[in-house]
Amino acid sequence: MTHEEIQLLSAEVEREGKFLEDIEREVGKAIVGQHRMVERLLIGLLADGHILLEGVPGLAKTTAVKAVARCIDASFRRIQFTPDLLPADLVGTLIYNQRDGVFQVRKGPVFAHFILADEINRAPAKVQSALLEAMQERQVTIGDETFGLLAPFLVMATQNPIEQEGTYPLPEAQVDRFMFKVVLDYPERSDELKILRQGDTSGIDGVRAVVHPEQILKARKVVNKIYMDEKIENYILDIIGATRQPGKFGLTKLRDQIRYGASPRASIFLAKAARAHAFLRKRGYVTPEDIRAIGFEVLRHRVMVTFEAEADEVNSDDLIRDIFDHIEVP
């Protein structure tokens, strides 16, 4: 791609991405701070990737997801995951019509543009699998009929990491369906002061729809056109390769700390998320900084540490940081 073509693409990115400013303004009515979380939600929206939010209670995870969904003139469903939830409660089931003597399909709440799976780790494996299948296949089978899900279709799940009793942790293979795992921290002191002062007066009631689903789908086409140089592609492959064979990349100390490396899905999501990050920055091309900016969210739930690493209090973020510091930046 020539320099002139990249300039034209950057102009198209800026033109098609103006609606993001409207979303950020509306979300700001309900959320104080947490800019990184909101940005990751927007990247998932643009890159067609589902998001897992993890953090202690009270960090506005649910509020942020509801606010982003309300900004878009689309259907939204919030599903509270509980231990007694059944797959049929999620995807729907067949209901017998006594008058006509036939079974009729009753669709579940998964048939919406945006799904908030609140506390996803409180539901048993069957329910989690039903949702994750819908996320992957973008379709649901009820009886002998298969139904396609709406577009755009985005699942934003939350989980509480501090409670183990009454929870069903997501298996690693299923967590891999999420593009991002965003770990939230407590707000800055200045932001918490604003939260303290406004108390319960804030909320999503003032958030209004400013975007149509067609704008999201149109923006996704532009995101897919964003230029990625071959050097950036090789940079991604080096990072992913280092999670699988660290010794080959001069990271011999990580060989006894990484149990499983990132899957090929990580390469795809890293590229897609980097393009979406460049779109947010109004650029028609991807830089190494785009890769580094979203690398932790894409990889932290895909790099499994060994028991020895856990004993040394080393987590996946530590290993990913070592990899990013070691791999040569193009």
Span 123-160, pLDDT tens digits: 888 888 888 888 888 999 888 888 999 888 889 888 87
**Rounded CA separation 152/75 (Å):** 10
Partners of 102 in the β-ladder: 97
Q: What pLDDT sits at residue 100?
A: 82
- Tell me, what CATH number does 283's domain have? 1.10.8.80
Q: Which residue reads 């296949």 in tokens?
A: 137
Q: Domain for residue 13, yes or no?
A: no
Q: Domain for residue 6, yes or no?
A: no
Using one digit for the tens of pLDDT, what is the confidence trace for 314-323? 888 999 999 9
- Tell me, what CATH number does 92's domain have? 3.40.50.300
Using one digit for the tens of pLDDT, what is the confidence trace for 257-286? 898 889 899 999 999 999 999 999 999 999
Q: Domain for residue 285, yes or no?
A: yes
- The continuous run of DSSP H or E covering 291 comes out as helix 288-299
Same domain, 249 and 231: yes
Same domain, 110 and 253: no
- How far is Cα of residue 12 from the mean position of the Cα atoms in its chain? 25
Same domain, 101 and 201: yes
Token couple for 203: 């909320």
For 213-251, letters b (16+ CB in 10 Å) and e give bebbeebbebbeebbbeeebeebbebbbbbbeebeebeb
Task: Return the sign of the alpha-carbon dihedral for residues 140, 143, 146, 149.
Answer: negative
Same domain, 209 and 111: yes
Q: Domain for residue 24, yes or no?
A: yes
The one-letter amino acid code at 68 reads V
When pLDDT is cut at 50, 70 and 90, the band that residue 162 belongs to is: low
Q: Comparing C-alpha atoms, which of 286, 308, 307, 290 is closest to residue 298?
A: 290
CB-CB contact of 47 with 223 (8 Å): yes
Rounded to the nearest 10 degrees, how much is the dihedral formed by the CA atoms of 248, 254, 257, 259?
-20
Pairing of strands 51-54, 154-159: parallel
> H-type helices in 125-229, by residue range?
125-137, 172-175, 189-198, 213-225
Q: Domain for residue 8, yes or no?
A: no
Token couple for 68: 């982003």
Using one digit for the tens of pLDDT, what is the confidence trace for 163-200? 666 677 777 777 888 999 988 888 888 877 877 777 65
DSSP letter at 262?
-
Q: At what angle do helices 35-47 and 213-225 cross, to 10 degrees?
A: 80
Same domain, 85 and 212: yes
**Rounded CA separation 240/237 (Å):** 5
Domain that holds residue 133: 20-216
SS3 content of the chain, % helix, strand, coil (to 5): 50, 15, 35
Partners of 118 in the β-ladder: 80
